[in-house]
Structure 1
């Protein structure tokens, strides 16, 4: 008896998305840390990466795949913003990004977010979610 390949790969897709989200966010944070900028346009690249991972994970086409693409892209953006804020805040103190991430609380992040991210960055994030919805479906 052979097992349907889509059923066999069903367990693989969520793990692939988690790995893609964490990996892309880590690379994005390290780039922002190294250059001292936010690189918000990388949200578009993240959306394309997530859409590719959804296809590689053999997730069925439709609104659920589009929703998954938007949610994982949003999670990548939020994780990256958190890590970037922590990295840029901890750098003058001699902390590495992963060391300062645990010290950044929600109140400090909410205070620092408008100082680091401007309207253009927010527009890139919004465009990233739209691209994720269109490309992931």
Structure 2
């Protein structure tokens, strides 16, 4: 019996290298909308979601084909930090804007940074602050 011919190994499905910006933008936008909606609906900050946001940012960059290394790690940490800031801004805007009959996206441009900072500091518990602080570190580690 002749030996079976070797078939070439199947090509591994890899994302194109240019796909990562779109995946990071789409993943971050959906995370901000979902996290803000949950926080506004329940009246709590849900800081633990920041850890999921960090893992999601790292995952989107990996799936999008960005090369490993420090640029990917720093971008994942920066995206996580930006998501946390945007969520805090939208949640504060949602609560204050609701008193004026505005949607969160309508009230957000009208909010000052110091006002948002003050209200976010008052609204977050120590556990929320801990999770918000650890999330960029987790993203930095997960995106290696």
Q: What's the CA shift for 1:92?
A: 2.9
Residue 71 of structure 2 is matched in structure 1 by 64
Separation of aligned partners in 2, 1:110 and 1:131: 23
Q: What's the CA shift for 1:32?
A: 0.7
Contact 1:46–1:76 at 8 Å: present in 2 too? yes
Structure 2, unpaired ranges of 5+: 1-12
Residue 108 of structure 1 is matched in structure 2 by 115
Separation of aligned partners in 1, 2:42 and 2:107: 17
Residue 90 of structure 2 is matched in structure 1 by 83
More helix by share: 1
Structure 1, unpaired ranges of 5+: none
Give the TM-score normalised by the residue count of structure 1: 0.86
Separation of aligned partners in 1, 2:27 and 2:47: 18
Separation of aligned partners in 2, 1:14 and 1:50: 11
Residue 21 of structure 2 is matched in structure 1 by 14
For residues 46-65 of structure 1, the aligned pairs below 5 Å read 46-65=53-72
Q: What's the CA shift for 1:18?
A: 1.5
Q: How many residues align?
A: 132
- Which of 117, 123, 132 aligns to 2:130? It is 123
Contact 2:47–2:128 at 8 Å: present in 1 too? yes
What RMSD, in angstroms, separates the aligned Cα atoms of the two structures? 1.8
Give the TM-score normalised by the residue count of structure 2: 0.82
Residue 32 of structure 1 is matched in structure 2 by 39
Structure 1 residues 51-93: Cα deviation after superposition (integer angstroms, max 9, x where no partner): 1101111111122211111011111111111111111222233
Structure 1 residues 11-50: Cα deviation after superposition (integer angstroms, max 9, x where no partner): 3211221121121111111111111110000001111111
